[in-house]
Copies of this chain bind each other. A is one copy, B any other.
């Protein structure tokens, strides 16, 4: 791993410092070449660093920021009032070339708006998108957009496809299969937006477009990149979380039903733990804001230390492979053919 610097919004997320500081400590231990700019309110941050024996870490530097964007702050407040927030100052580090990526568990809307304002979008990109890895039966796929854009047009879906494909290639898929999320696999299904987008993806020489995919096909591993409007993608993502949560709830309920079940629950712990590990949402934490002039990764607001560490690793990988440059060259190569 080359010498890289990550800017971390130390204050963001439901928990803030108690999650971000130990996760950063773990990352520093994992990667000897990595430097961290820890952005936050100086006093509580110094205290948390001291508590984790990080006060004098040679590869960690504190960058002061006096404000904090709250999880329910309107975007306008993050943009116009809290200009000295840890979120914004961390994005500034990327803009000013002091860091190659930034990570925040803060307010998604604020992070998108600030990143877009500070870093700007790549040439040819109208709308950045949110992209994350989703576990499937055979491994994982990348899905976008997950909520940055509602009411996307067909051209936006094409851009999402190009960006997702470049990201998947950067992360090791040589020829990612790109599919369009729809309510049926037949050509006649879906609304006008989807039919129009399908024509554009089909015609694009740079994409390995494989056709429509349904909600259940995502998990069967039928595609490497799943493209959709942000409204639909966000509903699908939250639905996954909801179903997974219900499974855990019902498993606990079943185990607690009788002493015999408690005993068999004990016996089945390796299986349930294996299940948990394979599908653990923390392992899939870290959504990329793609289409920007810089690497920005959003951690789930409720992620724990382990989840935040996964988000840090995503940022590191994307910075190492310079995903924004890869996306830009994918777009540039394809622009003559784009309608």
- State the A residues within 8 Å of B (CB): 72, 74, 135-137, 147, 150-151, 181, 183, 186, 188, 190-192, 214-220, 228, 230-232, 234-247, 249-251, 253-255, 257, 260-261, 263-265, 267-272, 274-275, 278-279
Contact = CB atoms under 8 A, between A and B. Distances in A.
A230 B230 CA distance: 16
Most buried by B among A214, A243, A269, A274: A243
Contacts of A192: 151
Contacts of A72: 186
A220 B242 contact: yes
Given A215-B238, A251-B275, A183 B261 contact: no
B74 A188 contact: yes
Contact of A265 (B242, B244, B257, B271): B271
Contacts of A263: 267
Given A232-B231, A246-B136, A264-B271, A216 B238 contact: yes
Copies in the complex: 2
Contacts of A245: 137, 216, 219-220
Contacts of A272: 268
A217 B242 CA distance: 7
Nearest to A273: B254
Given A190-B231, A215-B234, A264-B268, 17 more contacts: A72-B186, A136-B246, A137-B249, A191-B231, A215-B235, A215-B236, A215-B241, A216-B245, A220-B242, A235-B235, A235-B236, A240-B243, A243-B243, A247-B275, A250-B279, A263-B267, A265-B268
27 contacts: A72-B186, A147-B183, A151-B192, A181-B235, A183-B234, A190-B231, A214-B235, A214-B238, A215-B235, A215-B237, A215-B242, A216-B238, A216-B239, A216-B241, A217-B238, A217-B242, A218-B239, A236-B239, A243-B244, A247-B247, A251-B271, A253-B278, A254-B271, A255-B271, A264-B270, A265-B271, A268-B268
Given A186-B72, A234-B183, A275-B254, A135 B247 contact: no
A261 B243 CA distance: 25
A260 B270 contact: yes
Contacts of A191: 150-151, 231
Contacts of A251: 271, 275
B235 A219 contact: no
A237 B184 CA distance: 12
Nearest to A149: B191
Contacts of A260: 270
Contacts of A274: 250, 254, 257, 261
Contacts of A261: 270-271, 274
